[in-house]
Amino acid sequence: MTMQPTTPLRTSQPTYLRINEPYFPRVIEKVGSVLNEVHSHKALAFDADFWLWQYRDLPTKTAKVYAALENEEIVGYYHVPVYEGLVDGQRKRLAMVQEVAVDKELRGQGIFQELARYATRDLLASRTHAAYTFPNRQSIHTFLKYNGYTEISTLKAYILPVRSGDILRSKLKLLGVEKGIGYCADFFFRQFSIKIDSETRVQLHEQVDQDIIEIFSAYQRGHHISILRDEAYLRWRFENRPSSQHFYFVIHKDNQNLATAIFKLDEMYDNPALLLMDYAYLEGREDYLLQLIQYVKNNGAKDMGKEFSFIFTMGNSRFLLRLKKIGFIRVPQKFNPRPLKLLVRNLSHDSQDIFRPQNWHVTLSDWDVF
């Protein structure tokens, strides 16, 4: 006789609440165990300092962390940091739902659904303009069916091979033939380039400085909806992020800074990858940002002292289409290990424009995993 698995006996119904500081150590421990359980990429960097950076020390000092408790034990959590945003030039608060989970033994019993409902009701009572999120396959159904979220778009992903032979060698065993194929592929991608203005210079900056801050300030004036990338946000997101190193490139001409790009070294597809996390340029100077990225492709390894096999980025931005000029190719959805679907929830009566995909400016830095 085969014994069928049974659902654990429930001794009580969960209590849903927004937690405060005494609960922080317990939720940190729970998040860490879940990230390791699912082999999340984020688990490589996660610890107590990382959680406190993300949810206590963010620029607004406002993060709503909700939990489901059974017998005083945390069995589910739902994190919602709140950021300063720009909506048509006006400062508005934008909430981003991140880091949600329920104990695997209790999944499928409606706990996440109720926890999400509790959090959504609390957000509706706040003075937050809108909420957005990038849910995984397991949670997207709850957001769409029970919490009033609308799917806006799937972020577009782009990749620029730099050392194609290394990529092929990590995926295929071709008895050395991959080296020749990789050489041909690299030659092909080098044909995509734009003319370099000989009067420009690209510099690697050590930190987020006033040059970078001013370029971002000018760039975001053209956005309809985005996180406010001011000095406080940029320093928090890039300089203060634990276990991370970012590289800040600026291109300038005639003593004027024209564009900037922020990169991060990581690992994807079993290869060292250079992630284009964020970028900004002066109005009408898009080609200078392309020149900067092209420079990093050709010289970045020497400047940073680190090799990389490709450059990768993802987002919802009018600029991304221009990347094809310098050899980037769009990653088909079936080859993207983690497609990001942008879901939005209206929390304000004047938020109807949030449902237009073209109104959102989203870069890889909006996602908390990298």
Q: Are 229 and 218 in contact (CB under 8 A)?
A: no
Residue of 284, 298, 222, 211 lying closest to 248 (CA atoms): 211
Kind of pairing, strands 271-281 and 310-315?
A: parallel
- Domain spans of the chain, in order of start: 15-154, 156-337
pTM, 2 dp = 0.91
Say yes or no to pLDDT of 182 above 80.
no
Residue of 247, 318, 239, 327 lying closest to 281 (CA atoms): 318
Q: Characterise 340 by phi-psi region: left (phi > 0), alpha (psi -120 to 50), beta (else).
A: beta
Question: Which CATH architecture best describes the domain 15-154?
Answer: 3-Layer(aba) Sandwich (3.40)
How far apart (Å, rounded) are the C-alpha atoms in residues 101 and 107? 9
> What pLDDT is stored for residue 7 in this prediction?
45
Q: What 3 state SS string does 223-258 have? A: CCEEECCCHHHHHHHHHCCCCCCEEEEEEEECCEEE
Query: How would residue 170 be classed by pLDDT, with cut points 50, 70 and 90?
Result: low
Tokens of 172: 């295929």
Are 15-154 and 156-337 the same fold in CATH?
Answer: yes
- Count other C-beta atoms under 10 Å from residue 159's C-beta: 23
> What pLDDT is stored for residue 268 in this prediction?
87
Say yes or no to pLDDT of 10 above 90.
no
| Residue 41: DSSP 8-state | G
Q: Are 239 and 213 in contact (CB under 8 A)?
A: no
What angle in degrees, to the nearest 10, is found between the helix axes of 177-190 and 164-171?
140
Q: Where are the alpha helices (DSSP H) in the chain?
A: 24-37, 48-55, 111-124, 140-146, 164-171, 177-190, 210-219, 231-234, 286-304
* % of the chain exceeding 90 in pLDDT: 75
Distances (CA, A) of 362 to 33, 242, 350, 370: 29, 22, 21, 14
How far apart (Å, rounded) are the C-alpha atoms in residues 271 and 161? 11
Say yes or no to pLDDT of 260 above 50.
yes
CATH (one of 1.20.1260.10, 3.40.630.30, 3.60.150.10, 2.60.40.180) for 156-337:
3.40.630.30
Beta bridge partners of 268: 271
Give the pLDDT mean for 331-344.
Answer: 88
* Exposure string for 27-66, b = 16+ CB within 10 A, e = fewer: bbebbbebbeeeebebbebbeeebbebbbeebbeebbbbb
> What pLDDT is stored for residue 174 in this prediction?
55
> What pLDDT is stored for residue 187 in this prediction?
58
Kindly tell me the sign of the dihedral angle through the C-alpha atoms of 27, 95, 227, 232.
Answer: negative
- The single residue listed with the structure tokens 């009701």 is 121
Give the pLDDT mean for 25-32.
Answer: 96
> What pLDDT is stored for residue 349 in this prediction?
73
> What pLDDT is stored for residue 269 in this prediction?
83
Q: What is the average pLDDT score of the chain?
A: 90
Q: Which of the residue ranges 14-23, 128-137, 152-161, 348-357 would you say has the lowest mean pLDDT?
A: 348-357
Q: Which of the residue ranges 213-217, 222-226, 276-280 would you say has the lowest mean pLDDT?
A: 222-226
Kindly give, in sequence order, each residue whose CB lies less than 8 Å from that of residue 188, ignoring residues fewer than 6 positions away: none
177: three-class secondary structure by DSSP: helix
